[in-house]
C-alpha cells in the first residue's frame, strides 16, 4: 500500500522542529558539561589543615569531614545534583519542545496560507471554468506574493485568449450557418415548383433531412465550443440505440471499402446529448473503416456495455504506443500528413475527445496486437478504473 505523501506544511514543521531538537540538545549538553566542571569547586571551598596545607573540608550533619571522606561525600553530592539537573532539564526541554513544535505548526500554516489561496483559486477555475477569478493577494512583497501576482497575470492572459476564441466561434457560427440556410432555401424552392416530379420531391425531402442534421450538428458543436465544453441540457440516451443507428448508416461505406463491420449493441443507458454521442460513435467507426481500406480482410467491431461504455476496435497498420496520444490532437494523422484527404480532415478523434469530456467521460486508447487501434469511451456511470492496457488520452 502506498503511503500518503507528507504535505509541505508537515515537512517544514518537521525540519524546524528537528533543528530545534538538535540545537536544544547541544545547548543542554554544553550546559551540563560546564556545570559538572565547576560544581566541585563551588560546593567545597578549600580549607586550612594543621600543617598549613590546603585540603578539602566539608561539614555535613554537624560533622566535619576531611580528606578522603570529604572527597567521597563531595562525589556523592555531585552525582545527585547532576542527576537532578538532567531530570529537571530533560523535563523542561520536553515542555519547550512541545511548545516549539506547536508554534512551528501554527507559524508554518500562516506562512503557507497564501499558497492555499493560490491552490483554491486554481481549483475553482478548473471546476467552474471561471477565468475571471483572481487571487488579489495583499501582504509583504515576498516570493509568495510574486507567485500569486504571476498566477493572476497568467489567468488574465488566458481569459483574453478565450474571449478571442469565443468571438471567433461566434463569427464561424454565422459563416457555417449561412451556406446551410442557402441550401435549404434552394431545395425548398425546387420542391415547391409546380413542375417538380415525385422523385424530385422525395430527393428534396432527403436533402432537407440531411441539411437539418448538419445544422443540428453544427449548432451542437459550436454551442459546445462556446460553452467551454459544457452541455446546456441532457436527456436519457441508450448507447445501444446510438451504436445500432450508426452501424446502419455506415454499413454501405464499410461494404464499399471491403471492411467487415460487427456490432454488439448491449444496453448502455446514460445521460447526454444524443446527437453529439452519435457523432462520437460515427467518428470512431469511420476512423476504423478508413484506416482499413488498404488492408485486405479488414474489420471493425463496435460494442456498447451496461456501464455506459463504447469500445471500437479495428484492424489496420501497426501504431506505435507513443503515437496514440498525438492522434487525438486536431489535424494529426499517423502518417504525418496535415493536408485534408479522402480519409478526412484529421478532426475525428479530436471531436471524440471533446464530446466525451463534455459528457464527463474519458477516452482510453491503445494499439491492438497485430495492428489497429482499440478506443474505449466511458461515460458517467461507468467504472472509473482505467484500461489496464491503455492510457487516458490527454
| Rg (the chain; Cα; Å) | 40
Which of the 8 DSSP states describes residue 364? E
134 DSSP assignment = -
| Span 62-76, average pLDDT | 63
Residue 192: what pLDDT? 86
Classify residue 291 by burial, with Cβ atoms within 10 Å: 0-12, 13-18, 19+: buried
Say what the pTM is: 0.52
Instruction: Find residue 299's DSSP bridge partners.
Output: 260
Q: Helix (H, G, I), strand (E, B), or coil: what is residue 130?
A: coil
Looking at per-residue pLDDT, the higher value among 9 and 103 belongs to 103
Task: Please give the share of the chain, as a percent, with pLDDT higher than 70.
Answer: 74
Q: What is the mean pLDDT of residues 234-259?
A: 89
Q: Given this model, what pLDDT does residue 311 score?
A: 93
- Residues 6 or more apart whose CB falls under 8 angstroms from that of 110 comprise none
**Number of other CB atoms surrounding residue 239 within 10 Å:** 28
Paired strand residues for 291: none
- Dihedral of the CA atoms 89, 95, 100, 102 (nearest 10)? 170
State the chain's mean pLDDT as an integer.
76
How many whole angstroms separate alpha carbon 234 and alpha carbon 219?
Answer: 15
- Give the mean pLDDT of 282-308: 84
Instruction: Locate 229 and state its grid cell.
Output: 465544453
Average pLDDT over residues 159-186: 80
Cell numbers linked to 176? 457555417
Answer left, alpha or beta for residue 297, where phi above 0 means left and psi between -120 and 50 means alpha.
left
- 262 vs 37, higher pLDDT: 262
Decide if pLDDT at 45 tops 60. no
Separation between Cα atoms, residue 57 and residue 68, nearest integer Å: 10
Residue 39 clears pLDDT 80, i.e. is over it: no
Label residue 146 by pLDDT band (50, 70, 90): confident
Kindly give the residue spans of alpha helices, DSSP state H, lying in the chain. Answer: 8-43, 67-128, 143-191, 198-226, 239-256, 274-290, 348-358
**Angle made by CA atoms 388, 390, 394, in degrees to the nearest 5:** 130
- Please tell me which residue, 201 or 341, carries the higher pLDDT value: 201
In whole angstroms, give the CA distance from residue 304 to residue 263.
Answer: 9
DSSP string, 342-354: TTB-S-HHHHHHH
Question: Does 27 score more than 70 pLDDT?
Answer: yes
- 3-state SS class at 310: strand
Average pLDDT of the residues in 348-368: 84
CA dist., res. 53 & res. 68, Å (int): 15
Amino acid at each position: 500500500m502506498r503511503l500518503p505523501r507528507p504535505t509541505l506544511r508537515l515537512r517544514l514543521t518537521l525540519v524546524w522542529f528537528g533543528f530545534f531538537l538538535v540545537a536544544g540538545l547541544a545547548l543542554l549538553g554544553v550546559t551540563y558539561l560546564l556545570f559538572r566542571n565547576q560544581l566541585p569547586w563551588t560546593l567545597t571551598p578549600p580549607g586550612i589543615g594543621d600543617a598549613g596545607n590546603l585540603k578539602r573540608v566539608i561539614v555535613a550533619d554537624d560533622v566535619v569531614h576531611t580528606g578522603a571522606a570529604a572527597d567521597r561525600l563531595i562525589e556523592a553530592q555531585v552525582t545527585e545534583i547532576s542527576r537532578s539537573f538532567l531530570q529537571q532539564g530533560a523535563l523542561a526541554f520536553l515542555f519547550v519542545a512541545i511548545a516549539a513544535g506547536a508554534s512551528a505548526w501554527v507559524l508554518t500554516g500562516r506562512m503557507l496560507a497564501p499558497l492555499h489561496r493560490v491552490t483554491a483559486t486554481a481549483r475553482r477555475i478548473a471546476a467552474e471554468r471561471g477565468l475571471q477569478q483572481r487571487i488579489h493577494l495583499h501582504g509583504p512583497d515576498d516570493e509568495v506574493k510574486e507567485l500569486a501576482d504571476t498566477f493572476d497575470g497568467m489567468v488574465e492572459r488566458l481569459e483574453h485568449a478565450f474571449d478571442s476564441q469565443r468571438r471567433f466561434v461566434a463569427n464561424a457560427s454565422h459563416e457555417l450557418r449561412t451556406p446551410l440556410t442557402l441550401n435549404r432555401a434552394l431545395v425548398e424552392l425546387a420542391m415547391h415548383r409546380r413542375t417538380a416530379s415525385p422523385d424530385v420531391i422525395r430527393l428534396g425531402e432527403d436533402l432537407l433531412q440531411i441539411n437539418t442534421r448538419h445544422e443540428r450538428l453544427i449548432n451542437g458543436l459550436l454551442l459546445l465550443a462556446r460553452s467551454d465544453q459544457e452541455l446546456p441540457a441532457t436527456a436519457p440516451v441508450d448507447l445501444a440505440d446510438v451504436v445500432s443507428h450508426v452501424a446502419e448508416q455506415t454499413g454501405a461505406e464499410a461494404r464499399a471499402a471491403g471492411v467487415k463491420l460487427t456490432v454488439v449493441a448491449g444496453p448502455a443507458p446514460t445521460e447526454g446529448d444524443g446527437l453529439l454521442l452519435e457523432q462520437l460513435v460515427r467518428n470512431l467507426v469511420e476512423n476504423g473503416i478508413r484506416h482499413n481500406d488498404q488492408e485486405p480482410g479488414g474489420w471493425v467491431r463496435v460494442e456498447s456495455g451496461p456501464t455506459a461504455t463504447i469500445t471500437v476496435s479495428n484492424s489496420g497498420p501497426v501504431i506505435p504506443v507513443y503515437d496514440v496520444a498525438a492522434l487525438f490532437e486536431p489535424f494529426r494523422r499517423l502518417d504525418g500528413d496535415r493536408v485534408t484527404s479522402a480519409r478526412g480532415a484529421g478532426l475525428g478523434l479530436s471531436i471524440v475527445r471533446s464530446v466525451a469530456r463534455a459528457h464527463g467521460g474519458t477516452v482510453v486508447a491503445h494499439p491492438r496486437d497485430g495492428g489497429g487501434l482499440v478506443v474505449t469511451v466511458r461515460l458517467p456511470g461507468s467504472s472509473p478504473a482505467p484500461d489496464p492496457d491503455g492510457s487516458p488520452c490527454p
